[in-house]
Amino acid sequence: MSSILDQVSQQLNPGAISNIGSQLGVDQQTAQQAVAMALPLLIGGLARNVEQPGGAASLESALGDHGNTLANMASIFGNPSSGPGAGILGHILGGRQPAVEKGIGGAAGLDPQKVTQLLMILAPIVMGVLAKRKQQGAGQAGQPGASQGGAGGGIESVLRGEKQEIERRVPGMGGVLGGIFDQNKDGQVADDLARIAQSGALSGLLGGLLGGKR
């Protein structure tokens, strides 16, 4: 089964990226770069949350509200500030949201308000993909030879594996995630993200999104 990041990138076709760029008032390349920075931080926040007591059960419950999200993409792009993104962000990032926004904004050259808008667009899409993964797992759980938790395993296992995949694809991203979510050392996040972007490593994260073959 493809990774969460790959499934999210399938939702972000060139038209969607162009839409994001228009809403943020930036060119498509800047929008692509900002998206590629934001998605690992959102997934890193989810992975951190499910490691906390009750976190996995809370997320499993929340995913029940996002089963149809991917079928209603127009509503996400239409007016992000009035959609579900703001509430989702609060749960995913909590007190680390300002640090994440500052880091992405500094590295991508976006003001904090635009970064917030970007995150409010992306967060429901990530949750929609996770909800779809959960549904697929439930559908296969009863098949002979299926592992407990379905095809993708429990949500904690899925997100742990996704975080490891991000760190494998993008050298240096593990340090960024650890600095924000584990050590609360976020002062250099913008510089670290900028260095990762300049190295070209983000192309290994979302090759299709950043112009590679889809």
What pTM, to 2 d.p., does this model score? 0.87
Longest dimension (CA), the chain: 52
**Is the residue at 69 inside a domain?**
yes
Q: What is the pLDDT along the chain (214 residues), one digit of tens a residue?
A: 688 988 898 888 888 999 999 999 999 989 999 999 999 999 999 999 999 999 999 999 999 888 888 888 877 887 777 777 888 998 899 888 988 999 999 999 999 899 999 999 999 999 999 999 888 876 555 454 443 333 445 889 999 999 999 998 888 899 888 888 876 666 678 888 999 988 888 876 766 565 544 4
The pLDDT of residue 35:
94
**pLDDT tens sequence across 102-136:** 999 999 999 989 999 999 999 999 999 999 988 88
Evaluate whether residue 63 is within a structural domain: yes
Task: Please give the pLDDT value at position 151.
Answer: 40
Residue at 46 is within a domain: yes
Q: 211 in a domain, yes or no?
A: no
**What was the pLDDT predicted at 203?**
76
What is the reported pLDDT for 38?
A: 94
Token digits of residue 56: 């996995």
Number of domains in the chain: 1
- Residue 9, in any domain of the structure: yes
Position 35 in a domain: yes
User: Which position has the token pair 């931080």?
Assistant: 41
Is the Cβ–Cβ distance between 27 and 108 less than 8 Å? no
Q: Report yes or no on 213 lying in a domain.
A: no
Enclosing H/E stretch for 29: helix 28-50
Residue 152's pLDDT is 41
210, part of any domain: no
Contact at 8 Å (CB) between 92 and 44? no
| Structure confidence at residue 150 (pLDDT) | 38
Residue 113 belongs to domain spanning = 4-204
